[in-house]
Chains A and B, each alone.
Chain A
Amino acid sequence: MNSKGATVKRGILSILATVSAITLITACSSGGGSTPVAAGKVTLEFSQWWEPELPAGALRSVMDDFQAANPNITVKLLSAPYASTKDQTIAAAASGTMSDVVGLDGAWVSDFAKQGSVADLSKLMKSAKYDESQLASQIKVGGSTYMIPVVNFVYPMFTNDDLLAKAGISQAPTTRTEFTAAAEALSKLGGNTKGWVLPLSLQAPNGIQNDVMSWAWASGGSMLKGGKPDLTNSAVTSATKYVKELWDKGVVSPGALTMTEQDKVEEFTNGRVGMMIDSLSHITTIREKNPNLKFSISAIPATDGFAGKRGIPYASWGIGISDNSKHKAEAWKLVQYLMSQKVNSKLSTLAHAFPGNTKSEPDFTGTDPLFKTAFDIYKSGAPVNEFTGLPVADQLMRDFDEQFQGVLTGTQSVNDALKKAQAAWKTQF
């Protein structure tokens, strides 16, 4: 029967149809990808999560200024959601598609440096004859710099003035004893009000760094000894015990074990919690969301009678250069531009952060007076973040978090938890 030959023909036709359909789509989808560049011109890709965090168009205008100063360089901004930036950067590095310039977090640097995905900046600085002394800090792995903090966000204590006044507390607590008393008084106000908020989500375990370890740092403690984990020391033990004590007194906001940093801010903004340790960058968000909220900032309380310099936790928007980049010299120019005195001042003003260039001063005119207060706290204290530059920093926080949640839910003692966390950390170093 003739139908059989036809079957084959139709079968082939169907494949052809599919193929041609696919080609058609390819043809109309070729919009993406990099465009060919004229000779001598260089396009730099700069991937970061900063653009959506800054006022609309702000980062782009900084880039436009850079392009005006360097007519042969064009900068393409690629923004990704913060929560997935790290995974995406790892995947991009593995397949050689990492952008020339990348935004980095201190917690990732060591891992990227080991992977060989970010370039050694020390070398680039040397060949560009760059004066390193103007940099406030550099994140080094194995003696070489891999990340430069562009702007820094410190984490002081935020207090809700109205709630504190209602609870009969006239001044923000400066010692742990005062803090406990304040937290208890706030929790007695009734309703849903609690004294303190503690985000311990395992999804983003940075609460360990900002809200738990900060207690140890504020009293001059350290979680490391000679670059190795030292979690069972008295400073960490006392901080951990202190947080557990607060927990047992019922002064911590409910939902802590899956709470994220963003949730924490919502609790404070809505006046459900009297005190929190939080990034300065949140001041604008809080003001925007709840213009009526009166709040102050102060240094994180220390152990009673502590007279030394208070450690104040901070986080950075760091910057690095891809090791795969074909335009490392141009990429360095961009980094250098962002770190230059004027631009760095501008960026830190825009981000409500503190500059990474020692000579830069953020412009406080017209901004919230709290920034000025915070800048003074920042200058009088010692910025500290011991997680920066550690291997698998994210996992370290998570290991600690899991053990600490065991403490809070009453399945193990503080000492056992610290011992287990110490053991888990040791295997990572």
Chain B
Amino acid sequence: MATKRRGHLLKKTGLLVALSAGAIFAGFPVLWMASSSFKSNTEIFAYPPKLITEHFSFDAYIAILTDPTKVRFFINSYVVAICVTLLTLLVALLAAYAFSRFEFRFKKPLSMLIVSVQAVPPITLLIPFFGLMVVLGLYNTYLGLILTYMVFTLPYAIIMMTGYFNTLPKELDEAARVDGASSMGALWRILVPISVPGIVSVGIYTFMISWNEFLFALTLTRTPDMRTVPIGIQLLMGQNSYEWNQMMAMSILGCIPVLVLFLFFQRFFIGGMTAGAVKN
């Protein structure tokens, strides 16, 4: 009994050490970013570098939060990222359901296309895309950005959700349909509730992509009131010098909502929820 407990303890310590080592790899650069956001611009380049600054200041944060133009960047990013996430999930769940549970013509070529279209280097699509948005009247609008991001997030969301549905036994929804529920009913009432972990991870991914996208956000918007956070960060990189501390502060502020989102939805990754359903 005692040896077993000791073995358990040893394992636990080993795991903690490994986790901490990994945490340094993952977290140190971010810690450095956070510490730089409290420094003055000279200190960021000082040698030897210091993690904790002597002249700790919130100036960079204040500069951002008191500037209505910069706050607007955050609002724009929220609106776009939330819309993209919800719409992507809705559209992708429908498509994934079709791919996973139905046989239909063009299924193979369609799924192949969905994978391969992602391979076009976005930079080359920029000019035709730009032209198209102008023609459609979507240039410099939220909708233009939202639809654009959906083009990039949908393929991944469909592939992942199809994969997720494929791991769920088909008896589940077949049974529901035999009981008289429609296909739609089977999807929303049976499949979606037990797919929450998958949906959440796809959702967070989608949110991330649209929150951090730079190239199209820059090209498809033009007025300051439509710019998103990544553009705002780039605007701090001037022709002559960078506002280092403000850039760092803006990205720290930018990552907070995603972090909160992740914290809030964490529990869906954790245990139990699916295990029971899948077993039945």
A interface residues (Cβ-Cβ under 8 A, vs B): 1-3, 6-7, 10-11, 13-14, 17-18, 21-22, 25-26, 28-33, 47, 49, 52-53, 76, 78-84, 87-88, 90-92, 94-97, 192, 261-262, 265-267, 269-270, 272, 279, 281-282, 285, 288-290
List residues of chain B with CB within 8 A of the CB of A13. 184
The reply to whether B237 and A285 form a contact with Cβ atoms under 8 Å apart is: no
Jot down 21 A-B pairs with beta carbons below 8 A, ordered by A. A3-B180, A7-B184, A13-B184, A18-B87, A21-B87, A22-B147, A29-B141, A29-B143, A31-B142, A32-B225, A33-B137, A33-B140, A49-B238, A49-B239, A90-B127, A91-B127, A266-B241, A267-B45, A269-B42, A281-B240, A289-B42
A29 to B83 Cα, complex, angstroms: 12
Whether a CB of chain A sits under 8 angstroms from the CB of B126 is: yes
Instruction: Report if A91-B238 is in contact (Cβ < 8 Å); known contacts: A25-B142, A25-B146, A31-B225.
Output: no
List residues of chain A with CB within 8 A of the CB of B91. 18
Chain B: CB-nearest residue to A50: B239
The reply to whether B139 and A97 form a contact with Cβ atoms under 8 Å apart is: yes
List residues of chain B with CB within 8 A of the CB of A192. 47
List residues of chain B with CB within 8 A of the CB of A262. 237-238, 240-242
A13 to B218 Cα, complex, angstroms: 35
Whether a CB of chain A sits under 8 angstroms from the CB of B251 is: no
The reply to whether A94 and B127 form a contact with Cβ atoms under 8 Å apart is: yes
- Given pairs A21-B90, A270-B45, 16 additional interface contacts (CB within 8 A): A11-B184, A18-B87, A25-B143, A32-B140, A49-B238, A53-B238, A79-B224, A81-B237, A91-B127, A95-B127, A261-B240, A262-B240, A270-B42, A270-B46, A289-B41, A289-B42
Interface residues of B in 127-186 (CB under 8 A from A): 127, 130-131, 134, 137, 139-143, 146-147, 177, 180-185
The reply to whether B143 and A22 form a contact with Cβ atoms under 8 Å apart is: yes
Whether a CB of chain A sits under 8 angstroms from the CB of B222 is: yes
The reply to whether B47 and A32 form a contact with Cβ atoms under 8 Å apart is: no
Which interface residue of A13, A270, A272 has the most chain B CB atoms within 10 A? A270
A188 to B39 Cα, complex, angstroms: 30
A288 to B242 Cα, complex, angstroms: 12
Chain A: CB-nearest residue to B47: A192
Instruction: Report if A265-B219 is in contact (Cβ < 8 Å); known contacts: A21-B87, A289-B41.
Output: no
Instruction: Kindly identify which residue among A3, A30, A88 contacts B219, using a CB–CB cutoff of 8 Å.
Output: A88
Chain A: CB-nearest residue to B90: A18
Taking the nearest CB of chain B, how far is it from the CB of A147, in angstroms? Answer: 17
Whether a CB of chain A sits under 8 angstroms from the CB of B111 is: no
- Mostly helix, strand, loop or mixed at chain A's interface? helix
Interface residues of B in 100-136 (CB under 8 A from A): 126-127, 130-131, 134
| 3 pairs of A and B residues whose beta carbons are closest in the complex | A10-B184, A29-B142, A82-B239
The reply to whether A33 and B130 form a contact with Cβ atoms under 8 Å apart is: no
List residues of chain A with CB within 8 A of the CB of B90. 17-18, 21
Instruction: Report if A1-B134 is in contact (Cβ < 8 Å); known contacts: A79-B224, A83-B234, A282-B240.
Output: no
Whether a CB of chain A sits under 8 angstroms from the CB of B94 is: yes
A14 to B42 Cα, complex, angstroms: 56
The reply to whether A266 and B45 form a contact with Cβ atoms under 8 Å apart is: yes
Whether a CB of chain A sits under 8 angstroms from the CB of B231 is: yes
Taking the nearest CB of chain B, how far is it from the CB of A232, in angstroms? Answer: 32
B interface residues (Cβ-Cβ under 8 A, vs A): 40-42, 45-47, 83, 87, 90-91, 94, 126-127, 130-131, 134, 137, 139-143, 146-147, 177, 180-185, 218-219, 221-226, 231, 234-242
A116 to B218 Cα, complex, angstroms: 23
Instruction: Report if A269-B45 is in contact (Cβ < 8 Å); known contacts: A25-B143, A53-B239, A262-B241.
Output: yes
A29 to B127 Cα, complex, angstroms: 23
A289 to B238 Cα, complex, angstroms: 15
The reply to whether B223 and A32 form a contact with Cβ atoms under 8 Å apart is: yes
The reply to whether B240 and A265 form a contact with Cβ atoms under 8 Å apart is: yes
The reply to whether B237 and A83 form a contact with Cβ atoms under 8 Å apart is: yes
Chain B: CB-nearest residue to A27: B143
A262 to B241 Cα, complex, angstroms: 5
A203 to B180 Cα, complex, angstroms: 62
The reply to whether A14 and B184 form a contact with Cβ atoms under 8 Å apart is: yes
Instruction: Kindly identify which residue among A7, A33, A82 contacts B238, using a CB–CB cutoff of 8 Å.
Output: A82
Chain A: CB-nearest residue to B182: A6
Which interface residue of A1, A32, A90 has the most chain B CB atoms within 10 A? A32
The reply to whether B182 and A81 form a contact with Cβ atoms under 8 Å apart is: no
List residues of chain B with CB within 8 A of the CB of A261. 240
A3 to B147 Cα, complex, angstroms: 33
Taking the nearest CB of chain B, how far is it from the CB of A15, in angstroms? Answer: 9
A11 to B185 Cα, complex, angstroms: 11
A22 to B145 Cα, complex, angstroms: 12
List residues of chain B with CB within 8 A of the CB of A282. 240-241
Instruction: Kindly identify which residue among A33, A52, A94 contacts B235, using a CB–CB cutoff of 8 Å.
Output: A52
The reply to whether B241 and A265 form a contact with Cβ atoms under 8 Å apart is: yes
A91 to B221 Cα, complex, angstroms: 12
A30 to B141 Cα, complex, angstroms: 6
List residues of chain A with CB within 8 A of the CB of B221. 32
Chain B: CB-nearest residue to A90: B127
Instruction: Report if A3-B177 is in contact (Cβ < 8 Å); known contacts: A18-B91, A53-B239.
Output: yes
Chain B: CB-nearest residue to A32: B140
The reply to whether B241 and A26 form a contact with Cβ atoms under 8 Å apart is: no
A294 to B155 Cα, complex, angstroms: 57
Instruction: Kindly identify which residue among A2, A79, A91 contacts B130, using a CB–CB cutoff of 8 Å.
Output: A91
Which interface residue of B41, B45, B47, B218 has the most chain A CB atoms within 10 A? B45
The reply to whether B218 and A3 form a contact with Cβ atoms under 8 Å apart is: no
Chain B: CB-nearest residue to A10: B184
A365 to B242 Cα, complex, angstroms: 27
The reply to whether B241 and A285 form a contact with Cβ atoms under 8 Å apart is: yes
The reply to whether B226 and A32 form a contact with Cβ atoms under 8 Å apart is: yes
Chain B: CB-nearest residue to A191: B47
List residues of chain A with CB within 8 A of the CB of B46. 270
Taking the nearest CB of chain A, how far is it from the CB of B260, in angstroms? Answer: 24
The reply to whether A95 and B47 form a contact with Cβ atoms under 8 Å apart is: no
Chain A: CB-nearest residue to B93: A14
Chain A: CB-nearest residue to B231: A81
Chain A: CB-nearest residue to B221: A32
Instruction: Report if A10-B183 is in contact (Cβ < 8 Å); known contacts: A25-B83, A91-B130, A290-B42.
Output: yes
The reply to whether B235 and A79 form a contact with Cβ atoms under 8 Å apart is: yes
Which interface residue of A2, A82, A91 has the most chain B CB atoms within 10 A? A91
A216 to B99 Cα, complex, angstroms: 66
Taking the nearest CB of chain B, how far is it from the CB of A21, in angstroms? Answer: 7
Instruction: Report if A47-B222 is in contact (Cβ < 8 Å); known contacts: A10-B184, A97-B134, A270-B45.
Output: yes
